[in-house]
Structure 1
Amino acid sequence: MKFVDEAYIEICAGDGGAGCSAFRHEKFREFGGPSGGDGGRGGHVYAVADPNLNTLVDYRYARRHEAQRGQHGMGSDMYGAAGHDITLKMPVGTVIRDAQSGEVLFELLQPGEVITLAKGGDGGFGNLHYKSSTNRAPRQKTVGWPGERRSLQLELRVLADVGLLGLPNAGKSTLISAVSNARPRIADYPFTTLYPHLGVVRVGPEQSFVIADLPGLIEGASEGAGLGHQFLRHLQRTRLLLHVVDMAPFDGSDPVAGAQKIVEELRKYDEALYQKPRWLVLNKVDMVPEEERAERVQALVARMEEGAPVFCISALTHMGCTALMQAVYQHLASLRANSIEEPQDGRFA
């Protein structure tokens, strides 16, 4: 699988160089005095949010990252050079945790954002540092301080305003390909989508939002069944969920029963995710005879008992997709204008 959204790494900042104890020895300068310089600091370890990356695959196998240590001090008043810093490029939306405690240390939420993961150790003092009017020939020196070392867990949560959820083959991939520039794989078998796809939906000049298509969920997903449980975390940053329901399942199953199972899996996985605004999108209505369509939609909505907005669409023929995307944009715009639970990590523009 090309998409990697979790990795563990070890980082080591550089140790500081040791100070030097030396005295000047030059012709015609019998008492040259102390000339031992300080050691250089160790290199820092930085992380930068790179908008061109969308996976943590670079850290799946390259797990140890070390910055250069500082150079030792030398005689003739020469200080050691600082160690070279290293910068680790990570996707926007990466959550960085302490691997032992699980504490969240940093989140990379803005493109180009730079954070310091580990600081290099300071260099030690040479005997030149201890020179004074009462200590004319010091021989003291100190070793460099060690750099910080950390074990980190990296977790990627995609930044999207809207998330699509539903059973496999509900038509989520067809919908995102119809309304955005995303081109996920589409086929007539379950679990065609193996990792999240992001698409930018443009509803007008300078009016757009980001939508995410995740692998389909099945019953038991919160306990690890199927593929969707691996990616439920990516819905936690969204501000609106579109629950896509297949109105004409190829296996003849009950659409309401399947939809209710998905809602229950959300509740089991994360109560906050369950409480997010969730709209009902009835897909493949073109597969239902027109004379039966209104009655079946009304019966399905009555059984769902959610009270959320309901949209009838056909992702294949694009019927109703424009109206749905316009409504989504207006909802996001109202959230932004009223500052209602607007997260700082959104991608809404």
Structure 2
Amino acid sequence: MSSGSGSLSRYIAIRILLVIPMMWVLLTLVFFLLRVAPGDPVSAAFGGKLSEDALDVRRHNLGIDRPLIVQYLEYLGQVAHFDFGKTISDNRPVLDLVRDNGGATLTLTLGAFLFAIVVGLPLGRLAGRYRDSWGDIVIRIFGVLTYAAPIFWVGIMLVLLVVKLFPSWPTSGMASPITIFTVQPKTHILLLDAIFSGDGTAISDVLKHHVLPCFTLGLLLSGVIIRLVRVNVIQAMKGDYVEAARARGISERAVVRRHAFRNALVAVVTVIGLQVAATLAGAILTERTFNWPGLGTQLVKYILARDYIAVQGLVTFFALIVVLTSVTVDIINGLIDPRVRY
């Protein structure tokens, strides 16, 4: 085995092994932070509805009357078997919540990422190529505003604007009630189900409902991508290989596209991966703003119900997604750029 392939294998193995301590730290924080809040989740969910003896039975069945360390070890064992527990308030397995509502959050985040990449990459490249021009200044202001603006405020403003200019455009939910009723749920991803149904009207209806939420969340991400691409393009334009390309008579446009922009993409891939956590946080606010039936909406629902088993399971699932995405991005960077392996 060559030294290059050996270093890559070692790099990938180390990144995969790091998942274990990362997940352990996250799981421990989630477990203990949720138990710092005063009060009893069983009493919060059923207080006034059940007798004290019935509440004690519930506590015993859920195991929350046992020592904390016992609950903690049991929790780690359950997660190791991909068992995220059952909700206290309605006795639903958390994995069922993920199955039924995860598709909505997935389509929202993927749509937002697609919008952010389509907008952020070309604008960032233009700003980097024409540094300190009027176009660069306008793009930078746009990037700062989209990154700094509160996402729920942007969502509300967009809803008000759309209602004023396009009264018939949908501003709430994933689809019209008739579409949800007629489309057969096969994949738990409404857009895919609509496509598989072959109903053009349903597909159009679902896509229209996706526009505003994906656009709102995508704006937040596009600001990050614009600023990052701009900085890295400017840095890459100072490289010796760029000067060498210019000396060979290659056009400035080709120099930016083939050399500076490609080199800047390595950092972009890293940051896009790290933005998964921010996207999930933004998705919670976006789902609440647009009445989107995703995991963020469910998380808020169970937080208000003080159902910490549900909250614990959903947050653990989010943490697992973030960690796995981080490791995947590290591996992709190792494949793209050999320098990060050493």
TM-score, normalised relative to structure 1: 0.21
The structure where strand makes up a greater share of residues is: 1
The structure where helix makes up a greater share of residues is: 2
Structure with more contact order per residue of length (Cα contacts < 8 Å, sep ≥ 6) = 2
